Amino acid sequence: MLATDMYKFRNYLRETGIIFCYSGYMTEDVLLGLGKAIKQKMVMDDEDKETAKAVFSIFVEQVQNVIRYSAEKETKDDVAELRYGVLTVGRQDNKVFVTCGNVIRNEDRERLKKNLTNIQKMNKDELKKLWKDTLRGKIPDGSKGAGVGFIDIARRTCQGFEFDFSEVDEEISFFTLKAYI
């Protein structure tokens, strides 16, 4: 039973094209370790350097978003807090994807949606301008909206990104962003 369930779970992941899956508390150490494995897999798959670097870069921004902003967190005394998220990296129709999901507070949803929709519609030059303005602190970053990390993801995706929200209750929603490279 144990092995059957786990095998089913693995097959489900495989059928959906997922190569890597991590669900749990995300830390900078997790980022470093997973990042290395992803890099290694990209080399093994003979991905071109450009794709491999874009995948890694989007992976870093996605995970750091969780580490900084996931609303699902655990704190204890003075131990650094842990934030929960789900990350998958896979391949679908010849494209690599990096998907990341985490809990957000409903009060942040509209702003996040508005910012991401805005970024999604931007062309290369508009994204560059927004990126520079944000780097220079002309546009507030670090807020729970679309920070420089999301702009970076938008600049790096070759095939765009999609995002979605699923309301959990009146307090929180589950947010997911999938970027295609």
Partner 1 sequence: METIIIKATERSPEVNFDFDANTFAIKGESYPEDVTEFYGDLLLKLELHLSNLNGETVNFTFELIYFNSSSAKVLMSLFDMLEEIAEEGNTVNVVWLYESDDDNMEELGEEFGEDLEAANFKMKTTEG
Considering only 76, 136, 140, 170, the residue that binds partner 1 (CB under 8 A) is 136
Q: Interacting stretch for partner 1, rule CB under 8 A, among 14-22, 45-53, 87-95, 165-173?
A: 45-53
Name the DSSP class of 159. Answer: S
Considering only 38, 42, 54, 179, the residue that binds partner 1 (CB under 8 A) is 54
Q: Which amino acid is at 47?
A: E
Q: Which two tokens stand for residue 99?
A: 């998907």
* Binding of partner 1 by 152 (CB under 8 A): yes
Footprint of partner 1 on 154-173 (CB under 8 A): 156
Write the CA distances from 30 to 60, 115, 118, 148, 165, integer angstroms: 11, 28, 31, 22, 25
Considering only 110, 128, 159, 164, the residue that binds partner 1 (CB under 8 A) is 128
Nearest CA-CA partner of 176 in 10, 9, 20, 23: 23
Considering only 7, 28, 110, 114, the residue that binds partner 1 (CB under 8 A) is 28
Is 83 or 156 the residue whose CB approaches partner 1 more closely? 156
Element (H, E) at 125: helix 124-135
Phi first, then psi: give them for residue 42, nearest 5 degrees: -65, -35
Name the DSSP class of 64. Answer: H
Footprint of partner 1 on 67-126 (CB under 8 A): none
Q: Interacting stretch for partner 1, rule CB under 8 A, among 13-21, 84-92, 129-137, 171-179?
A: 129-137
Q: Which two tokens stand for residue 14?
A: 């495989």
Considering only 45, 50, 81, 164, the residue that binds partner 1 (CB under 8 A) is 50
Q: Which amino acid is at 36?
A: K
Binding site for partner 1 (CB under 8 A): 28, 32, 49-50, 53-54, 56-57, 60-61, 64, 128, 131-132, 135-137, 147-149, 151-152, 156
